[in-house]
C-alpha cells in the first residue's frame, strides 16, 4: 500500500469512527461553543492552511461537578469570621469534589478514541484531557474548525489556530466546557521602557527603582527576609517564549542585593526552560519576586507554548491541578481583554482559580497596563476590563509612581495602572461596602455608560510600577515599567508574611481578598492622587477613574507598609 493510500485510508477510518460514535449517541446535529474568539488580533498574519497530516495537541476541559459547593468552600476557608478559616483542602479533596461524572469521562473518552486521538494525558482532578491528533482528525472531530498557521507578536511567535468556530456533537455539549488550542492567540507583553526623566542636581536622589528603593519605601529592614527553609515558597509564571537566565539573576543580585540576605538561584523550574535569549518580563518577575520575598525558596513555572497548538496559560492552570504540594504565593503577569474570550472559557478559568483558593494558594495577577482600557461597540466607547485581573478569586495588583520620580516620596497613580469593573462577574460580597462607598463619593466618575458599576471591581492593591532596573541578557536595563513589576513585589512581601505565620503555627494567607476588605486596607499606604488613562475621545478626554481616600479602581486599597501589613495579617 502506498503512503498516499495509507493516508486516505486513515482519514476515512477516522471519519467513519467519528460517524459511528455519533450514530451510537442518537444525535447527528451540532451545537457550537458560544462566543468563540474569531477576530484576528492586530499584528498577526496568516501563513495559510496547515498541512492535514501535521500533529497538534488539543486540551478538552471536561464538565465539573459541585461548583456551588466549591464556591461555598472558598468563602469558608478565606473568611476570617468563618470557623473553617485557614482549613484548606488538599488536591485529593478538590479532585473528589469537582471530578467529572463517570458518564462524562466515558462519553468524552469514547468520542476521542473513535476519532483517533492518541497520547492523551489527564490531571489529578481528571477535568482536563490533552490529546494529540493530526490536523485532519481535529477538523473531523470539531466540524467548522479550519487550522491555519499564523505568525505575530514582538517575538514573531508561530501558532496554529482556527479562524472559524468549531462545533461539538450535541451528545458531547453537556460534557465539554471548551476545547483549548483553537482560537486564543497569545497576548503581547505591555511592559514598557520609559524615557529617563530629567532632573537638575544629584543630591539625595535615586536613579531608578531597585530592591533597596523598594525596601526603603515599604519600610523593610535587613532582618525582613526569609529563613531559607523549604516549608515556605513562592512562584512566578512565565509564558510566550519568555525565559529568565540564572546568570542574569546572579548578576542582578550582585548589583542590587548586597544589603539583605537573598538566594541567587531559582529552587525549581516547572516545565521547559528555553535556551534562547532572556525576556525582560520573565527577568523582571524572577528578580523582583526574589528580592522582595528575599531568601525564600522560589519556583518558576515555565510554559513557553513552544508547540504551535499550545496555550501557555491553560498549561499553567493544568500544572496547578496536577501538583499536590505547591508554593503558597503565585504571581502572574498575564491578561486578556474580557471581551476577547468566550464565556465558556472565562467561566471555566474562573473555576480553576476557585480550586486554587480552596487549597490556600494566594494568586496575584497584574491589573494590566492600559488604564481603564477602551473599545468601541456600535460606535459607542466603553472601558475595557482585563481577565484574569477581573476574577473575583484573585488578588489584583495595580501600579504607582513616586510623586517625585527621583525621590523616595509618597506615591501617586501610575497612569497605565489597569483597573475598572468586570462586564462578566458580578461584584463579590466581600467588596460591596468599599466599592459602593467609592461610587457614591468619587467626584470624578466617568459617564455611567462607560462601565458596569455592578461588576467585580479591581485592582485590590498596588505597588510601584514605574522606572525599574532589570538585568536581561547580561545587560542592566533602566526605566522598565508596568504592573508586571508591581505584582511580584507585592507577592514577595506576602511571602515574607507567610514566613512569620508559618513559624507561628498559623496557616498561610491563602485567598487574601475577604480579609483585605474586612480590614479596610489596614497596613497599606492609601494612594489618593492621580487618574489612569482611558478612551481618547471628547467625552472623557483620555481619563478613566481617579484615586481617592480608601479603595479605588486604580490602586485598590494602596501600597504596602510592610511592618503595619505584617502586624495586620500575622494572626488569624
Query: How far apart are alpha carbons 98 and 64 in whole angstroms?
Result: 5
Give SS3 for 45: strand
Catalytic residue among 281, 352, 414, 466: 281
Query: How far apart are alpha carbons 525 and 521 in whole angstroms?
Result: 9
Annotated binding-site residues for Ca(2+) read: 526-527, 550, 552
Query: How far apart are alpha carbons 42 and 52 in whole angstroms?
Result: 27
83 is an active site residue? no
Please, are residues 323 and 62 in contact by the beta-carbon 8 Å criterion?
no
**Torsion, CA 34, CA 40, CA 44, CA 50, rounded to 10:** 60
Please, are residues 264 and 252 in contact by the beta-carbon 8 Å criterion?
no
Backbone angles phi, psi at 560, to 5 degrees: -75, 135
Backbone angles phi, psi at 566, to 5 degrees: -60, -45
Annotated binding-site residues read: 526-527, 550, 552
Residue identified by cell 500500500 is 1
Question: What is the helix, strand, coil percentage profile of the chain, to 5?
Answer: 30, 25, 45
Query: What stretch of H or E contains 157?
Result: strand 157-161
For the chain, count helices (H), then strands (E).
14, 30
Residue identified by cell 471548551 is 178
127 is an active site residue? no
What is the 8-class DSSP label of residue 90?
P
Q: How many CB atoms lie within 10 A of CB 190?
A: 19
Backbone conformation region of residue 403, classed left if phi is above 0, alpha if psi is from -120 to 50, else beta: alpha
Q: Is the peptide bond before 459 cis (omega within 30 degrees of 0)?
A: yes
Please, are residues 403 and 529 in contact by the beta-carbon 8 Å criterion?
yes
Catalytic residue among 291, 484, 486, 534: 484
Query: How far apart are alpha carbons 486 and 461 in whole angstroms?
Result: 10
Q: Which residue stretches of 66-141 are H helix?
A: 67-78, 91-98, 102-115, 135-141
Per-position DSSP letters for 224-290, written without gaps between them: -S----TT-EEEEEEETT----HHHHHHHHHHH-TTS---SS-SEEEE---SSPPPHHHHHHHHHHH
Please, are residues 368 and 190 in contact by the beta-carbon 8 Å criterion?
yes
495 is an active site residue? no
Please, are residues 558 and 520 in contact by the beta-carbon 8 Å criterion?
no
The contacts of residue 334 (CB under 8 Å, 6+ apart) are: 187, 237, 239, 313, 365, 366, 388
CA 375 to mean position of chain CA atoms: 21
Residues with a known catalytic role: 281, 285, 484
Amino acid at each position: 500500500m502506498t503512503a498516499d493510500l495509507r493516508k486516505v485510508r486513515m482519514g476515512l477510518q477516522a471519519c467513519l469512527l467519528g460517524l459511528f460514535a455519533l450514530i451510537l449517541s442518537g444525535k447527528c446535529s451540532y451545537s457550537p461553543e458560544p462566543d468563540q474568539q474569531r477576530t484576528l488580533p492586530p499584528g498577526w498574519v496568516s501563513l495559510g492552511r496547515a498541512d492535514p497530516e501535521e500533529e497538534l495537541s488539543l486540551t478538552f476541559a471536561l464538565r465539573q461537578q459541585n461548583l456551588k459547593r466549591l464556591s461555598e468552600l472558598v468563602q469558608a476557608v478565606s473568611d476570617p469570621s468563618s470557623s473553617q478559616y485557614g482549613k484548606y483542602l488538599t488536591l485529593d479533596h478538590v479532585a473528589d469534589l469537582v471530578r467529572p461524572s463517570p458518564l462524562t469521562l466515558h462519553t468524552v473518552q469514547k468520542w476521542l478514541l473513535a476519532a483517533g486521538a492518541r497520547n492523551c494525558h489527564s490531571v489529578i482532578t481528571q477535568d482536563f484531557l490533552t490529546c494529540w491528533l493530526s490536523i485532519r482528525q481535529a477538523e473531523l472531530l470539531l466540524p467548522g474548525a479550519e487550522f491555519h498557521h499564523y505568525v505575530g507578536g514582538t517575538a514573531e511567535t508561530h501558532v496554529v489556530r482556527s479562524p472559524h468556530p468549531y462545533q461539538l456533537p450535541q451528545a458531547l455539549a453537556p460534557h465539554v466546557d471548551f476545547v483549548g488550542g483553537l482560537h486564543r492567540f497569545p497576548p503581547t507583553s505591555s511592559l514598557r521602557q520609559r524615557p529617563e526623566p530629567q532632573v537638575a542636581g544629584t543630591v539625595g536622589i535615586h536613579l531608578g527603582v531597585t530592591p533597596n528603593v523598594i525596601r526603603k519605601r515599604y519600610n523593610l529592614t535587613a532582618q525582613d527576609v526569609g529563613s531559607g527553609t523549604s516549608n515556605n515558597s513562592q512562584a512566578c509564571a512565565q509564558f510566550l517564549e519568555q525565559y529568565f537566565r540564572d546568570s542574569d539573576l546572579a548578576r542582578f543580585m550582585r548589583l542590587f542585593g548586597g544589603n539583605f540576605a537573598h538566594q541567587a538561584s531559582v529552587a525549581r523550574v516547572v516545565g521547559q526552560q528555553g535556551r534562547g535569549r532572556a525576556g525582560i518580563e520573565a527577568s523582571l518577575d524572577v528578580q523582583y519576586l526574589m528580592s522582595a520575598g528575599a531568601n525564600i525558596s522560589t519556583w518558576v513555572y515555565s510554559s513557553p507554548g513552544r508547540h504551535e497548538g499550545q496555550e501557555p496559560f491553560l498549561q499553567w492552570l493544568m500544572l496547578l491541578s496536577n501538583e499536590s504540594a505547591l508554593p503558597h504565593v503565585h504571581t502572574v503577569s498575564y491578561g486578556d481583554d474580557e471581551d476577547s474570550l468566550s464565556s465558556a472559557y472565562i467561566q471555566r478559568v474562573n473555576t480553576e482559580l476557585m480550586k486554587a483558593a480552596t487549597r490556600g494558594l494566594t494568586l496575584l495577577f497584574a491589573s494590566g497596563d492600559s488604564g481603564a482600557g477602551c473599545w468601541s461597540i456600535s460606535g459607542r466607547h466603553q472601558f475595557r476590563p482585563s481577565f484574569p485581573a477581573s476574577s473575583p478569586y484573585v488578588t489584583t495588583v495595580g501600579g504607582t509612581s513616586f510623586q517625585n520620580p527621583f525621590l523616595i516620596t509618597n506615591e501617586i497613580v501610575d497612569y497605565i495602572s489597569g483597573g475598572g469593573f468586570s462586564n462578566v462577574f458580578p461584584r463579590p460580597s466581600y467588596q460591596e461596602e468599599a466599592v459602593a462607598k467609592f461610587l457614591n463619593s468619587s467626584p470624578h466618575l466617568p459617564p455611567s455608560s462607560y462601565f458596569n458599576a455592578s461588576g467585580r471591581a479591581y485592582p485590590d492593591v498596588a505597588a510601584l510600577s514605574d522606572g525599574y532596573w532589570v538585568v536581561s541578557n547580561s545587560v542592566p536595563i533602566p526605566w522598565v515599567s508596568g504592573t508586571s513589576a508591581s505584582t511580584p513585589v507585592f507577592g514577595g512581601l506576602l511571602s515574607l508574611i507567610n514566613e512569620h505565620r508559618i513559624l507561628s503555627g498559623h496557616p498561610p494567607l491563602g485567598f487574601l481578598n475577604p480579609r483585605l476588605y474586612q480590614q479596610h486596607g489596614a497596613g497599606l499606604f492609601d494612594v489618593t492622587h492621580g487618574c489612569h488613562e482611558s478612551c481618547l475621545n471628547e467625552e472623557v478626554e483620555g481619563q478613566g477613574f481617579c484615586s481617592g481616600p480608601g479603595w479605588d479602581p486604580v490602586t485598590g486599597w494602596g501600597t504596602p507598609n510592610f511592618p503595619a501589613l505584617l502586624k495586620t495579617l500575622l494572626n488569624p
